[in-house]
Structure 1
Amino acid sequence: MVCTVDGASGLCLGCYRTLGEIAEWSRMGEQRRQQLMLELPSRIERIDPKLR
């Protein structure tokens, strides 16, 4: 899947990560990845409902 980033929120429409988080993902430690994964579901509210 290719990420599509919403300009207003700065989040990917598929995974809800920021471009910085996407770029850093392969270098992140396991603990940080797990923490981030727990945060992602709540980010959907930051995306315009028309784009979800």
Structure 2
Amino acid sequence: MDPAQLQKLVEMRMPFGKYEGRLLADLPGNYLNWFAREGFPRGELGRLLALM
């Protein structure tokens, strides 16, 4: 795992949705499971959410 990506998980905030403004590392597991079933967003955000 890339340490820079791990750092982003604790610095980057969710830009949209029910948990807008929450740190990615603080997103609830059921929300991440929903993304895993429905598909992660494109780009860096999706890659970071998939790491969780």
Q: Could you say which TM-score interval applies, normalised by the shorter chain?
A: under 0.3
TM-score by length of 1: 0.26
Structure with more contact order per residue of length (Cα contacts < 8 Å, sep ≥ 6): 1
